[in-house]
């Protein structure tokens, strides 16, 4: 089965994170679609508007291979306040699917009660938002089972490559990294 992934764009999302993730996954052959939280036209944190492929509402109960949440404080606040988003990440986690978040967005995973007893990272200074029962890591990207978290805009490339590795394999991730002139440890 081909991997199909969804990235949720909320008003105020961090543009570097969202566009990097979408671009790198597509380069890796991963089918990724964007879903706007409040409609198809979504304004980012720095005045860049993106036309999402679909809306979160139109997805219904559909399951994907993974759900990705970009950060940005405005975007994260909107994600945190959405019962649809909380239900989406819970449903995917319970189904054993990848749930990934970057920057401030791991806070959403904590609110959805997905981080207790797990390892995660978040934008520096927001560690307390991960909850008392989460092992707070300082790494750029942290993978704990089907849960993948990252720290912020500058780690978006590493995060996206980790996602390509997860969905399309390590060899494909290395190939994409070489083409992008990105550093790869493996």
Contacting residues for 91 by C-beta, under 8 A, at least 6 apart: 61, 63
What's the pLDDT tens digit per position in 2-48?
Answer: 569 999 999 999 999 999 999 999 999 999 999 999 999 999 999 99
Average pLDDT across the chain, whole number: 96
Active site residue 103: yes
Q: Spot the catalytic one: 80, 103, 130, 156.
A: 103
24-61 residues labelled b (16+ CB within 10 A) or e (exposed): bbebbebebebbbbbeeebbbbeeeebebbebbeebee
Residue-level pLDDT at 2:
56
Residue-level pLDDT at 158:
98
The region that residue 5 occupies, defined by phi over 0 for left and psi between -120 and 50 for alpha, beta otherwise, is: beta
Count of beta carbons in the 10 Å neighbourhood of residue 6: 23
Q: Span 106-126, mean pLDDT?
A: 98
Is the per-residue pLDDT at 87 higher than 70?
A: yes
Q: Span 108-117, mean pLDDT?
A: 98
Pairing status of strand 98-102 against strand 119-120: unpaired
Q: Which pLDDT band, with edges at 50, 70 and 90, does 184 fall under? A: low
Q: Span 108-128, mean pLDDT?
A: 98
């Amino acid at each position: 089965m081909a991997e199909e992934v969804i990235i949720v764009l909320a008003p105020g999302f961090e543009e570097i994170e969202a566009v990097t993730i979408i671009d790198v996954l597509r380069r890796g052959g991963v089918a990724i679609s964007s879903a706007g939280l409040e409609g198809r036209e979504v304004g980012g944190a720095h005045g860049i508007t993106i036309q999402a492929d679909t809306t979160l509402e139109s997805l219904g109960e559909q399951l994907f291979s993974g759900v990705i949440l970009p950060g940005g404080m405005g975007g994260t606040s909107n994600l945190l306040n959405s019962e649809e988003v909380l239900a989406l990440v819970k449903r995917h986690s319970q189904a054993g699917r990848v749930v990934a978040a970057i920057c401030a967005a791991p806070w959403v995973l904590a609110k959805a009660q997905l981080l207790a007893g797990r390892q995660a990272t978040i934008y520096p200074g927001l560690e307390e938002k991960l909850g008392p029962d989460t092992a707070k890591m300082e790494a750029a990207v942290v993978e704990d089972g089907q849960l993948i978290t990252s720290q912020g805009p500058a780690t978006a490339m590493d995060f996206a490559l980790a996602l390509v590795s997860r969905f399309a394999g390590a060899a494909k991730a290395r190939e994409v990294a070489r083409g992008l002139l990105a550093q790869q440890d493996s």
